[in-house]
Structure 1
């Protein structure tokens, strides 16, 4: 049995601000020697949002208030190494990252939650569903890679997106190629990259050698939100998803979106999450 570490909630709540019609609280939690930074807003059943590789919770700034005003409690734990969150320690795995999310859900007394992971964030969502199934009522994967090969040129553009020393226009061309559907504004992703965080997250994924967590939908209902023009993870069929993820999969395809998805079509992503959450037992 995995050892659970005691966690304490610091009494300090850092300056709330308004996002749409909801007030966002920024909190800090202590889990042993680890500090977890958490954004929270809204009231109702809980939805937890996990961002993509090397990116922070600001990616959900347009989605979170939509969920909150629809009647949900939205929790956004900041990835380790971003903001006030402690960096990932050497040797950490996806199980350690999932334990941070579990601590946030428990501190807020928000279980069971719908846990949604964007792109690489889907790894943590699925590991949490495997390790702590009692905390999870459903899992949502947003533009998640499910095992397909990535074109070498696209992979090169992914790496270039984290290379902040490149000229802005060169980085912009890589962002357009790898992440955004034609016609969508890739400039919104010029900032917000954390190269050291992405390296630590990749190392944690590589150090996670067990594979039982890959089939999260064996235990929980699972929503796969595909981006119609995703150059990294082309939309799989429902049959392919059920073969790789388990039988309880629902599929939604968002048009005019690439792998970035969340900043491209926030209204459609929020609508898919709301509809799925309202249908969960």
Structure 2
């Protein structure tokens, strides 16, 4: 049984992958959704988070694996792929960002998603703006925001040169990008494929923004399973 490792979004829990894990398990895959640590000692880089992820997989007896990274998780997944390339069976990036920046007001709204001092109404307004396409309901992501996790993860990204992880690739790569992604504009996926992984399969999904998983669960599961079983 092949193992699929899933790496969640910035300051978000592994449970974001519950529906996708269920779909993968029904197709015969073992799934390991990595829960981020509540805190991380020192001043970690993405390389430190990658090594820690591998230590968790070692403890579970996982040697080779498919890896799926969502949003921030795509950066960590690419760093894992760069640092432990011989263990990666395939790389899947959901909502891949890190090169083409969002509009300036999105950064402030993104930070507000982790601000526990604001009202629920204001919080959900920012979640909607950053993570959900116009016609999609943001309430599935009312909870699940961990500011302390976000802080060390964001700092790790800033401490790590982009060239250390951006171009990481393996023989089999899938990129799933949302056409309405406010945080990781669709051009990120196109640039990564064109410049670093011309052999990759690029799937662009309409009617979705940065959250993706609760917005278009069937489309994402179909794209991922077709790729993994192809």
TM over 0.5: yes
Aligned residue number for residue 204 of structure 2:
253
1:57–1:78 Cα contact (<8 Å) kept: yes
Change in 2 beyond 3 A, CA 1:196/1:126: same
- In structure 2, the gaps of 5 or more residues are none
**Bigger share in helix:** 2
Q: 228-237 vs 161-170, which deviates more?
A: 228-237
How far has the Cα of 1:237 moved from its partner? Answer: 8.0
* Matched ranges for 1:144-223 at <5 A: 144-209=96-161, 211-217=163-169, 219-223=170-174
- In structure 1, the gaps of 5 or more residues are 1-43, 82-86
Q: Does residue 99 in structure 1 map to residue 56 in structure 2?
A: no
Please say which structure displays the higher CA radius of gyration.
1
Aligned mates of 2:183, 2:93 — CA distance in 1: 14
Aligned residue number for residue 59 of structure 1:
16
2:177–2:189 Cα contact (<8 Å) kept: no
Higher RCO (Cα < 8 Å, 6 or more apart): 2
Change in 2 beyond 3 A, CA 1:240/1:209: closer
How far has the Cα of 1:236 moved from its partner? Answer: 2.5
How far has the Cα of 1:157 moved from its partner? Answer: 1.1
Of 241, 244, 247, which residue of structure 1 is paired with 2:192?
A: 241
Aligned mates of 1:277, 1:119 — CA distance in 2: 20
Q: Does residue 120 in structure 1 map to residue 72 in structure 2?
A: yes
Q: 267-276 vs 104-113, which deviates more?
A: 104-113
Aligned length: 230
| 1:157-196 per-position Cα deviation (integer Å, ceiling 9, x unaligned) | 1111111211111111111111101121101112100011
How far has the Cα of 1:104 moved from its partner? Answer: 3.1
